[in-house]
Amino acid sequence: MALITLTTDFGTQDYMVGAVKGQILTANRQSTIIDISHTLNPFNYPQAAYICKNTLRNFPEGTIHLVLIDLFDKNHDFLILVRHQGQYIGLADNGLIKMILGESPVEKVALSLKNKGQKNTITCVKVFAEAIREIESGKSLSEIGDTQIEIAEKNSLRPIITSNSIEGQILFIDRFENVVINITREEFEENRKGRSFKIHCTRGEPIEKISETYGDVPMSEKLALFNTAGYLEIAVNKGNAAGLFGLERYKDPGPDDSKNRILYQTVRIFFE
């Protein structure tokens, strides 16, 4: 019985998530489908990579992860299916896979979209569903798709590191408006080298210690901690850090950005 996770940028306003599940179950009636998220920001690859990377580590070997993010960034003739540390990941050939894994996948195949009908979301899901059925029947990746492929790759958003500082970008803002930065505990400690530090996330007073829980500071006070995924998080005890401090996920400036609102998309740590 297949264990399948589903991560999309579809939203939940229309029928699409339900239709996708229906197609999976039509091909694999005994499957268990687990929703990860359907509200990821469209075209936000760093956010999608953060969510998917930290999903993978919590599931058993043999899990199949369908990542339906930006399926049609180009007019692709195939989808990709990879096997990494015993788990399978199916997604578009849009470069996201390297951002999720942190490296190029060794075991990968192309699932052809040629002669499958109109290229749309449902067609893509049917192709994945058929591949899942073949995995369940005991076939290897090389028996399911074409192994002789070159795939697109994108690099993860990395912090800027100097001898005395780290500048990180905002990866994700959760429903409590806690702000996740692309600085891991390992990167922080490696560059800190035992020194004191100041975390600047706004023009206000810096944060000078790492908390273990939100309750380590009084209500409404800001804090920094490393979350369960090991990434730096800026929060306010029973408050909303993003809204209070004008923090927004990192993105390239666009024509719709307000000139009258100051938005901070990076956080800087200075070592002393």
Model confidence pLDDT, tens digit, residues 24-35: 999 999 999 999
What is the per-residue pLDDT across 233-265, written as a single tens digit (0 to 9) for each? 999 999 988 887 777 755 554 445 444 433 458
What is the per-residue pLDDT across 27-68, written as a single tens digit (0 to 9) for each? 999 999 999 999 999 889 999 999 999 999 999 999 999 999
pTM, two decimal places: 0.88
**Whole-number CA gyration radius for the chain:** 21
Which amino acid is located at 131 in the chain? A
What is the per-residue pLDDT across 67-88, written as a single tens digit (0 to 9) for each? 999 999 888 899 999 999 999 9
Strand segments (E) across 58-217: 64-68, 78-84, 87-92, 107-112, 160-161, 165-173, 179-184, 197-200
Quote the tokens at residue 123: 């067609």
The residues of the chain that CATH labels 3.40.50.10790 are: 3-144
Quote the tokens at residue 55: 């999903």
| Range 160-271: architecture per CATH | Beta Barrel (2.40)
The residues of the chain that CATH labels 2.40.30.90 are: 160-271
| Fold (CATH) for 3-144 | Rossmann fold (3.40.50)
What is the per-residue pLDDT across 207-230, written as a single tens digit (0 to 9) for each? 999 999 999 999 999 999 999 999
Per DSSP bridges, beta strands 160-161 and 165-173 are antiparallel
How far apart are alpha carbons 144 and 272 in whole angstroms?
A: 55
> Is 56 buried (19+), middle (13-18) or exposed (0-12) by CB count in 10 A?
middle
Find tokens 């000139």 and name the residue: 259
